[in-house]
């Protein structure tokens, strides 16, 4: 039996990984799931994949499960920013005839993904062997992720008033990192992003 299992949700990004494995001539098993009528994946599929975000694809290689490819660098944009920006853009574009109640319900629905993402990052940081996302050394993953997380935390987009202590410590460490401070001094950068008032 091949040691690799691809958790494959139909009509999804899962095809990327099937293609990649195929291109690499790697043998693999496939755990298929069809989408539910609401286009979500079945609950048991989410449990089986081992992906705490409950998304596909996920790939198990021996004892290791990988999701988000390439991990963290891709996730900074394609997961964290995508989910947060949906909440940013929504009030800018919603017709003023839509009731406040519907607006609140929609924002609450969109916030679920942001909070799941932050829960995942909190877990990753608790599993790290050092202060950074991938252990004791600063990597591109930290540098990519820092802006996304700083943006979400400062604007409180979708955070629902919750706190994530490990993420907050990691953000402070990023802020105190010598190369970050040098980049700030050179560019005059500061993140002061005020979301416009909703009409
Ligand atoms: N950034 C992630 C996105 C994963 C993702 O959002 N997958 C969708 C399918 S394309 C999914 O699992 N949706 C089902 C659900 O949310 O229940 C990646 O590239 O792996």
Residue spans of the domains in the chain: they are 4-67, 73-187
Q: How far is the CA of 188 from the centre of ligand 1 (A)?
A: 37
In CATH terms, the superfamily for domain 4-67 is Glutaredoxin (3.40.30.10)
Beta carbons within 10 angstroms of residue 73's beta carbon: 16
Can you tell me whether residue 38 is helix, strand or coil?
coil
Which pLDDT score, from 0 to 100, does residue 93 have? 86
Q: Is CATH 1.20.1050.10 the classification given to domain 73-187?
A: yes
Among 133, 159, 23, smallest CA distance to 75 is for 133
Which pLDDT score, from 0 to 100, does residue 137 have? 95
- Residue of minimum CA distance from atom 17 in ligand 1: 40
Q: Is the fold of 4-67 the same as that of 73-187?
A: no
Q: How far is the CA of 176 from the centre of ligand 1 (A)?
A: 34
Mutational test site, ligand 1, from 9, 19, 55, max ligand atoms within 8 Å of CB: 55
User: Can you say whether the dihedral through the CA atoms of 147, 149, 152, 158 is positive or negative?
Assistant: positive
**Whether the bond into 6 is cis, omega within 30 of 0:** no
Q: How far is the CA of 2 from the centre of ligand 1 (A)?
A: 24
CA distance 67 to 24: 18
The structure tokens listed for 22 are: 């195929």
- Residue of minimum CA distance from atom 2 in ligand 1: 68
Which pLDDT score, from 0 to 100, does residue 70 have? 65
Question: E strand or H helix at 104, and its extent?
Answer: helix 100-127
Residue list, ligand 1 pocket, CB within 6 Å: 9, 12-13, 40-41, 54-57, 67-68, 78-79
For each of the chain's 199 residues, which pLDDT tens digit applies? 668 999 999 999 898 889 889 999 999 999 999 999 988 889 888 889 888 888 899 999 988 898 876 667 789 999 999 999 999 888 888 888 999 999 899 999 999 999 999 999 999 999 999 999 999 999 989 999 999 999 999 999 999 999 999 999 999 999 999 999 999 999 989 888 766 665 5
Which pLDDT score, from 0 to 100, does residue 54 have? 83
CA distance 191 to 44: 41
């Amino acid at each position: 039996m091949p040691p690799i299992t691809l958790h494959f949700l139909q009509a999804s990004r899962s095809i990327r990984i099937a293609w990649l494995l195929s291109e690499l001539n790697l043998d693999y098993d496939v755990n298929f799931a069809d989408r539910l009528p609401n286009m979500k994946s079945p609950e048991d599929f989410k449990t089986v994949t081992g992906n705490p975000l409950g998304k596909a694809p996920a790939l198990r290689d021996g004892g290791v499960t990988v999701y988000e490819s390439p991990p963290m660098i891709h996730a900074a944009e394609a997961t964290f920013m995508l989910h947060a920006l949906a909440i940013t853009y929504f009030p800018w574009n919603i017709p003023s005839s839509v009731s406040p109640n519907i607006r609140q319900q929609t924002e609450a629905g969109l916030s679920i993904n942001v909070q799941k993402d932050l829960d995942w990052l909190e877990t990753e940081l608790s599993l790290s062997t050092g202060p950074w996302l991938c252990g004791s050394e600063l990597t591109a993953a930290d540098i990519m992720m820092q802006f996304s997380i700083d943006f979400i935390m400062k604007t409180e987009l979708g955070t629902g008033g919750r706190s994530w202590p490990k993420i907050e410590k990691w953000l402070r460490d990023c802020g105190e990192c010598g190369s970050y401070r040098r980049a700030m001094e050179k560019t005059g950068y500061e993140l002061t992003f005020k979301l416009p008032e909703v009409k």
